[in-house]
Chains A and B, each alone.
Chain A
Amino acid sequence: MHVMFVFQSRGGGGGRVEEMGIMRQCGTLLSGGADGVADEWVVGAIRPGKMLAEKYCFFQSPSIMSKRKGKDAHLPVGECITLVQQILRERLCHQQLPDKPDGIEAQHKHLLELLKRTAVHGESNSVLIVGPRGAGKTMLLKCVLRDLLEEKEAQKNLLQVHLNGLLQTDDRIALKEITRQLHLENVVGDKVFGSFAENLAFLLEALKKGDRSSSRPVLFVLDEFDLFAHHKNQTLLYNLFDVSQSAQAPIAVVGVTCRLDVLELLEKRVKSRFSHRQIHLLSNLTFTEYLERVQTQLCLPDDFPDSKFAQDWNDSIMTLCEDKSVEEVLQRHFNSSKDFRSMHMLLMLCLSRVSVAKPAIKPADLLEASRLCFADAKANMLHGLSILELCLIIAMKHLNDVYEGEPFNLQMVHNEFKKFLQRKSNSMYNFDQPVIMKAFEHLQQLELIRPADGSSAKTQREYQLMRLMLDHSQIMEALQKYPQCPTDVKQWAMSAFG
Chain B
Amino acid sequence: MTREDILSQLLTRSRSRTRALAQRLSPPPGPASPSLAPRKAPAAWPPPGPPPQQTVSSETESSRRVQQVRVHLTQHRHLDASVSPQQGDVMEAELPSGTEKTPRRRNATSRRKSATRGQQATTPSRKKESKTLREPALGVLAEVDNENSPMLPANATPRSSKRKSAQLVSSRIRKQLNLLESRQDLDSDREDEDEFVPSKKELQSSSEEEEEEEEEAGLDSDDEVVTKKSRHAAAGSRTPRSKQKSRSSTRTPRKTPNKKIAPSTPRTPRHATPSIPSRSLPARQPANVLEEARTRLHVSSVPESLPCREQEFQDIYSFVESKIIDGTGGCMYISGVPGTGKTATVHEVMRCLQHAADVDEIPPFHFIEINGMKMTDPHQAYVQILQKLTGQKATADHAAALLEKRFSNPAPRKESTVLLVDELDLLWTRKQNVMYNLFDWPTRRHARLVVLTIANTMDLPERIMINRVASRLGLTRMSFQPYSFKQLQQIITSRLNKVKAFEEDALQLVSRKVAALSGDARRCLDICRRATEICEHSSADTSATGLVGMSHVMEALNEMFSSAYITAIKCASLQEQLFLRAVIAEFRRLGLEEATFQQVFVQHQALCRVEGLQPVSVSEGLAVCQRLGACRLLLLEPSRLGVLQRVRLNVSQDDVLYALKAD
Tell me which residues across on chain A come within 8 A of B650, comparing CB atoms.
261
Closest to A45 in B: B619
Q: How far is the CB of B481 from chain A (nearest CB, A)?
A: 16
Closest to B282 in A: A213
Q: How far is the CA of A284 from the CA of B659 in the complex (A)?
A: 14
Question: Cβ of A216 and Cβ of B298 under 8 Å apart?
Answer: no
CB of A51 within 8 Å of the partner chain: yes
Q: How far is the CB of B631 from chain A (nearest CB, A)?
A: 5
Question: Cβ of B630 and Cβ of A258 under 8 Å apart?
Answer: yes
Interface 1/0 per residue, B599-623 and A, CB below 8 Å = 0010001000000011011111011
Question: Cβ of A185 and Cβ of B276 under 8 Å apart?
Answer: no
Question: Cβ of A276 and Cβ of B526 under 8 Å apart?
Answer: yes
Q: How far is the CB of B88 from chain A (nearest CB, A)?
A: 11
Closest to B611 in A: A335
Identify which of A205, A246, A258 contacts B274 (C-beta below 8 A).
Answer: A205
Q: How far is the CB of B369 from chain A (nearest CB, A)?
A: 11
Question: Cβ of B565 and Cβ of A273 under 8 Å apart?
Answer: no
Q: How far is the CB of B312 from chain A (nearest CB, A)?
A: 18
CB of A113 within 8 Å of the partner chain: yes
Question: Cβ of A278 and Cβ of B564 under 8 Å apart?
Answer: yes
Chain B stretch 638-656: residues in CB contact (< 8 A) with chain A = 638-644, 650
CB of B24 within 8 Å of the partner chain: no
Tell me which residues across on chain B come within 8 A of A216, comparing CB atoms.
276-280
Question: Cβ of A335 and Cβ of B623 under 8 Å apart?
Answer: no
Tell me which residues across on chain A come within 8 A of B286, comparing CB atoms.
121
CB of A186 within 8 Å of the partner chain: yes
Question: Cβ of B274 and Cβ of A206 under 8 Å apart?
Answer: yes
Identify which of B300, B456, B575, B638 contacts A246 (C-beta below 8 A).
Answer: B300
Question: Cβ of A239 and Cβ of B568 under 8 Å apart?
Answer: no
Tell me which residues across on chain B come within 8 A of A339, comparing CB atoms.
627
CB of A69 within 8 Å of the partner chain: no
Q: How far is the CB of B615 from chain A (nearest CB, A)?
A: 8
Closest to A189 in B: B269
Tell me which residues across on chain A come within 8 A of B533, comparing CB atoms.
113
Tell me which residues across on chain B come within 8 A of A471, comparing CB atoms.
598, 601, 618, 643
Identify which of B613, B619, B639 contacts A376 (C-beta below 8 A).
Answer: B619
Question: Cβ of A247 and Cβ of B301 under 8 Å apart?
Answer: yes
Closest to A247 in B: B300
Q: How far is the CB of A487 from chain B (nearest CB, A)?
A: 25
Interface 1/0 per residue, B276-320 and A, CB below 8 Å = 111111111110000100110011111000000000000000000
Q: How far is the CA of A216 from the CA of B632 in the complex (A)?
A: 37
Tell me which residues across on chain B come within 8 A of A246, comparing CB atoms.
299-300
Q: How far is the CB of A497 from chain B (nearest CB, A)?
A: 20
Question: Cβ of A50 and Cβ of B626 under 8 Å apart?
Answer: yes
Q: How far is the CB of B581 from chain A (nearest CB, A)?
A: 14
Question: Cβ of A182 and Cβ of B276 under 8 Å apart?
Answer: yes
Question: Cβ of B644 and Cβ of A245 under 8 Å apart?
Answer: no
Question: Cβ of A284 and Cβ of B269 under 8 Å apart?
Answer: no
Q: How far is the CB of A250 from chain B (nearest CB, A)?
A: 8
Closest to B286 in A: A121
Closest to B618 in A: A471
CB of A461 within 8 Å of the partner chain: no
CB of B362 within 8 Å of the partner chain: no
Q: How far is the CA of A335 from the CA of B565 in the complex (A)?
A: 19
Q: How far is the CA of A339 from the CA of B631 in the complex (A)?
A: 13
Tell me which residues across on chain B come within 8 A of A276, comparing CB atoms.
523, 526-527, 560
> Which segment of B4-12, B191-199, B373-381, B544-552 sits at the interface?
B373-381
Q: How far is the CA of A332 from the CA of B613 in the complex (A)?
A: 8
> Which segment of A71-79, A80-88, A192-200, A419-427 sits at the interface?
A192-200
Tell me which residues across on chain A come within 8 A of B601, comparing CB atoms.
471
CB of A159 within 8 Å of the partner chain: yes
Question: Cβ of A272 and Cβ of B573 under 8 Å apart?
Answer: no
Q: How far is the CA of A402 from the CA of B274 in the complex (A)?
A: 71
Given contacts A47-B639, A185-B269, contact A260 B564 (CB under 8 A): yes
Tell me which residues across on chain A come within 8 A of B575, comparing CB atoms.
335-337
Question: Cβ of B278 and Cβ of A214 under 8 Å apart?
Answer: yes
Interface 1/0 per residue, A368-412 and B, CB below 8 Å = 000000111111000000000000000000000000010000000
Inter-chain contact count A-B, CB under 8 Å?
A: 256
CB of B215 within 8 Å of the partner chain: no
Question: Cβ of A133 and Cβ of B613 under 8 Å apart?
Answer: no
Tell me which residues across on chain B come within 8 A of A133, comparing CB atoms.
627, 630
Identify which of B279, B423, B622 contacts A269 (C-beta below 8 A).
Answer: B423
CB of B213 within 8 Å of the partner chain: no
Q: How far is the CA of A246 from the CA of B54 in the complex (A)?
A: 52
Question: Cβ of B630 and Cβ of A245 under 8 Å apart?
Answer: no
Interface 1/0 per residue, B375-404 and A, CB below 8 Å = 111001001100000000000000000000
CB of B102 within 8 Å of the partner chain: no
CB of B92 within 8 Å of the partner chain: no
Question: Cβ of A209 and Cβ of B526 under 8 Å apart?
Answer: no
Chain A stretch 114-164: residues in CB contact (< 8 A) with chain B = 120-124, 130, 132-133, 153, 156-157, 159
Given contacts A260-B631, A378-B618, contact A336 B624 (CB under 8 A): yes
CB of B339 within 8 Å of the partner chain: yes
Question: Cβ of B298 and Cβ of A337 under 8 Å apart?
Answer: no
CB of A359 within 8 Å of the partner chain: no
Other A-B pairs, 19, CB within 8 Å; known A197-B377, A335-B573: A12-B640, A121-B295, A122-B279, A156-B280, A157-B281, A184-B274, A215-B277, A216-B276, A238-B374, A248-B300, A260-B564, A273-B522, A280-B564, A334-B574, A338-B572, A374-B617, A374-B619, A375-B619, A378-B642
Question: A residues touching B (Cβ–Cβ < 8 Å)?
Answer: 9, 12, 47-51, 54, 109, 113, 120-124, 130, 132-133, 153, 156-157, 159, 171, 182, 184-188, 193-194, 196-197, 200-207, 209-210, 212-218, 233, 235, 238-239, 242, 244-250, 258-261, 268-269, 271-273, 275-278, 280, 282-284, 332, 334-339, 374-379, 405, 447, 450, 467, 469-471, 473-474, 477
What are 21 of the A-B contact pairs (CB < 8 Å)? A48-B638, A50-B623, A109-B537, A132-B627, A203-B274, A207-B276, A209-B275, A242-B373, A244-B300, A245-B522, A260-B565, A260-B568, A261-B650, A272-B522, A273-B522, A277-B530, A332-B614, A376-B618, A376-B619, A469-B641, A469-B644
Question: B residues touching A (Cβ–Cβ < 8 Å)?
Answer: 269-270, 272-286, 291, 294-295, 298-302, 337-339, 373-377, 380, 383-384, 423, 426, 456, 520, 522-523, 526-527, 529-530, 533, 537, 559-560, 563-565, 567-568, 570-576, 598, 601, 605, 613-614, 616-620, 622-624, 626-627, 630-633, 638-644, 650
